[in-house]
Structure 1
Amino acid sequence: MLRRSYFAFLRTVTGSGMSEAIANQGAENVERVVVTVIQGALEYPDPIAQKTCFIIHSKLVELWRGKDGPVGFADFVYKHIVPTCFLAPLKQTFDLADAQTVLSLSECAVTLKTIHLKWGPECVQYLQQEYLPSLQVAPKIIQEFCQALQQPDAKVLKNYLKVFFQRAKP
C-alpha cells in the first residue's frame, strides 16, 4: 500500500502541472525518482501500481520532451522507459487474463504511443533497428508492431499489444 501511495503521489504531482517540482531537484534526484517509477512498473507484481507507473511515464514524456525536460531525458526514455514497456508485460507475473493487468497494459500502450507522438520516426527507427531485434523479435512481428504504433487511433495499439504479448509469452 505504501508503494501504491507513493506512485499515486507522483501521479498527482505529474498530472497537476507540478512536474517542475521533480525536474528542479537536480539530475541525480530526478533520476532516482524516475528510476523508482521504472522499478514500480517492472519489478512489483501489482497491476494497480504498474498502471500508475505507466501513467507517470506517459505524463513525463509528454511534459519533458521539449526544452522543459531534464538534460538527457531522450536517452533515458530509450534506455529505460521503452524497455520497461516490453519487459514488464513479458514477466510471468504479468497476467494478461487479469482485468487489472489488462488496464496496466493499456497504459503501457499509451506510454509507447506518447513516445511515438513526441519522437516520431526516430522512435520507430529505434524500435525497428535496435530495440526489438535485441529481443529476438521476428522482422514480420516488428513490422506489425510498428504499423500498430503509427496508427492515429491509440486503440489499435492497445488491442495489438495484448496479442503481441500473448504470442511472446511461452
Structure 2
Amino acid sequence: MDLKSHIRGIPDFPKPGILFYDVSPLLAHGPAWKAAIDQLAEAVRPHKPDVLVGIESRGFLVAAPLALTLGVGFVMVRKHGKLPGDKVKHSYDLEYGTDTIEVQANAVAPGQRVVVLDDLLATGGTMAAAISLLRQIGADVRAAAFLVELTFLKGREKLDVPSLSLMAYDE
C-alpha cells in the first residue's frame, strides 16, 4: 500500500514558507492506518522493547496502538506541567528559545528496553531531548521510530540510536 498517498501537504502552515505534512488522512483511512502500524511493528520488533514511549501529542497516536500490537507497555513524554505525580524533566533548546518535557519518575524501570515514537522527524531536537530524558531515569533506549521523516532537515544526525521511518520526504 502506498502510505504516502495518505499524507497531505499543507503549504504555509503553521507559518508562511512551511509545508506541513499532515498525517490525519492516514489516521482516518482504516486499511492504510493498519498497514502503517503493521509495518512499524515489523521495524520495531527486532529491538525487543519492553515499553514504547510516545512524544506529545501525535507520538501518542503512533505509540499507543503499536504498543497494543506488540503487547508491550506505553508511556507518555509530555510538555511541562501536564503529568501528575513525581516527574523528571529535561529542558532543551529550540530555534527560538527553550522547551521542557517530562516523564513520570516511575514510568520506566531502570534497564527497561525502550523505543521512542513520534509522527514526524524534522530537526530531531525533541526526539533527542526525549532520549536524554529517558536515559536520566535509567531507560535502555534502543531506537526511535517515525511515520514520516523530512530527510532534508537532517534530524537523524542528532540521534544516537537507530532511527526508523516509514516514509521520507527529501524536500
Determine if the TM-score, normalized by the shorter chain, exceeds 0.5.
no
Q: Which has the bigger relative contact order, CA under 8 A and spacing at least 6?
A: 1
TM bucket by the smaller chain?
A: under 0.3
Of Structure 1 and Structure 2, which has the larger fraction of its residues in helix? 1
TM-score, length-normalised on structure 1? Answer: 0.27
Of Structure 1 and Structure 2, which has the larger fraction of its residues in strand? 2
TM-score, length-normalised on structure 2? Answer: 0.27
